[in-house]
Chain A
């Protein structure tokens, strides 16, 4: 088995495959990669086709010291990569024993993905390698070892630089189950302005700095099932989008719902950046 040790101080990474499905009734969220498009693409670059686990790297720099040869691919962080100090411009990289791979502080996208042929190895819980601390699975940090299958393949490099889909200018949102609680005019005006992403944005929720002006809120709200993409409103007017590791039940109004295929795009906005949303006409939704 090949090994790669994390030697960088503040690293906090998770392994992600497609995640877990079918356990939400036990309180287990689906998890999976924050950016599904990048995950799919990076796995394809190394020829993985069977839900292999990818290393999801957060914003802080990462240095991996490899013991063993490897073929890897990196997406959404290509401009920031060095091997043994030498800048790398290609998405697919060939690692030799004792090579040190370094990924700098995230510049454009908060989530970077490193795929390896055969996938990163690790324990499966409920059928998935996606790291979830509340299932007793630990995130990958300094001094931890990552495992991979030995690679003995060919050495020629692909010439392509990983192109990454640009972020959409505007993200569509749809009415949620509690849409009627918001004043449509106020909501429309709120969504017509840029909205700032919280600095604390994480795998559970992406909060919005600007609050929605609200004049009414239920006294009591029974716990209801929640889903990634659901946009919740708290009594103080705080809005937040539930992300991949969000808890499976909640006690807040669910006012809007993000189009599922845009959740990955939303995830790749840097904390503190500005977002634009577009409310899809309520009369078009049943």
Chain B
């Protein structure tokens, strides 16, 4: 099923797939800060309204699970109404990140990008990040809005162990590891403020600022 949505004053083509009690909305658009804001807020609203048990915002999608017959029929109408009435309200979270010249993959990253440590810290920490996606692991956050000078592909061979709280980069995203696990992203910093899945207020679209701290 295809239809149009008004998102941020633009008309966006949308496709809705429904099967049994699940559905997925795909948007014909590029991932962006504004789009994530719309998706994250829409997801939260749909869940609050009881439309679905779970609504997960992707980079350009929404995935619904636990739909009932009534809510299935109302998805398109609800999305269209939401896209017209919507007023964005991102929450702002500040995380304190430590960077050290010899920590994690920092030496390799500086070398690969041809920057010194101070420049790396400046390029990475001085951005207005937004939450683009939460997934892969409970509390694993993908942050968009990073500096394009810091793009590196994922490691070919993941590191067998990444610290809980590791701040890492891959492609155009920054990731925050919520637990010790193997990881394929390049670790360049550390934060104690991982997303606690128990009482987190973070959602897709929220804004993230980095405060650089020592050790």
Binding site for B on A (CB under 8 A): 21-28, 30, 125-126, 132, 134-136, 174-177, 222-227, 229, 247-250, 254, 257, 259-260, 285-286
Contacts and interface: CB of A to CB of B under 8 A. Distances in A.
Contacts of B203: 25
A257 B31 contact: no
B57 A225 contact: yes
B197 A21 contact: no
B46 to A, nearest CB: 10
Nearest to B30: A222
Q: Which 7 A-B pairs have the closest CB atoms?
A: A249-B135, A225-B63, A225-B56, A222-B59, A24-B54, A224-B58, A177-B17
A286 B19 CA distance: 8
Interface of B: 1, 15, 17-22, 24, 26, 31, 43-44, 47, 53-63, 65-66, 132-140, 142, 178-179, 181, 195, 197-198, 200, 202-204
Nearest to B17: A177
Given A222-B61, A225-B62, 11 more contacts: A24-B63, A25-B43, A26-B138, A26-B197, A126-B198, A174-B19, A222-B31, A224-B24, A225-B58, A257-B19, A257-B20
A176 B22 CA distance: 11
A177 B22 CA distance: 11
A134 B43 contact: no
A256 B181 CA distance: 30
A74 B174 CA distance: 47
Contacts of B44: 25
A43 B44 CA distance: 34
Contacts of B195: 26
A6 to B, nearest CB: 25
Nearest to B58: A224
Contacts of B54: 21-25, 30
A60 B20 CA distance: 35
B17 A21 contact: no
A25 B56 contact: yes
Nearest to B61: A224
Given A134-B138, A247-B135, A24 B17 contact: no
B53 A21 contact: yes
A131 B58 CA distance: 26
B10 to A, nearest CB: 18
A126 B197 contact: yes
A21 B18 contact: no
B58 A222 contact: yes
A22 B47 contact: yes
A226 B20 contact: no
Contacts of A250: 135
Nearest to B20: A260
Contacts of B19: 174-176, 257, 285
A177 B135 CA distance: 19
Contact of B133 (A177, A223, A257, A259): A223
A257 B179 CA distance: 31
Nearest to A222: B59
Contact of A23 (B21, B142, B197): B197
B197 A135 contact: yes
